[in-house]
Amino acid sequence: MERLIDNSFLYENETLKYSIVFPESWSGKFGIEENADYINVYYLQNGEQNSNTNLLFTIKDEKNSPPLSEYNKITYKFTDQTTYVLWGPKKVYIDDESNTYSEYVEIYNEIVTLPLKSL
């Protein structure tokens, strides 16, 4: 992942042929798991991967995505050749009265603004 001039982070996936830019405000708060045909983006509580890590969202080609009734559809992103669907979990395991939950929700609500582009 490359840090850009505005301190955002550029993630490029050559296999899936897209890039996505994560804002500076997400620094130390997310991690990416690459799979053969999708990526998972996780919220890293306290900035590290551990048993408190929660899924933020998955990006996958719409043609190959599972039935969205099983997930919380967030948005669609379009590139030149492909429509991607972004979905998140229906439940997260964070105390909803905590500051951590507030931070998770704040980040989760920014997902729709993330720019996804073809490589």
Q: Tell me what pLDDT residue 63 has.
A: 84
Q: Give yes or no for a contact between 102 and 92, defined as CB atoms under 8 angstroms apart.
A: no
Give the model confidence (pLDDT) of 56-84 as tens digits: 999 998 888 877 777 788 888 887 778 88
C-alpha–C-alpha distance, residues 64 and 45, integer Å:
30
Burial string for 68-82 (b: 16+ CB within 10 Å, else e) reads eeebeebeebeeeee
Using a pLDDT cut of 70, give the percent of the chain over it: 99
Does residue 52 surpass a pLDDT of 80? no
The structure's pTM equals 0.89
Q: Tell me what pLDDT residue 50 has.
A: 77
Q: Tell me what pLDDT residue 77 has.
A: 83
Confidence label for 115 from pLDDT (cuts 50, 70 and 90) = very high
Each domain of the chain, given as residue ranges in start order, spans 2-118
Mean pLDDT computed over every residue of the chain: 88
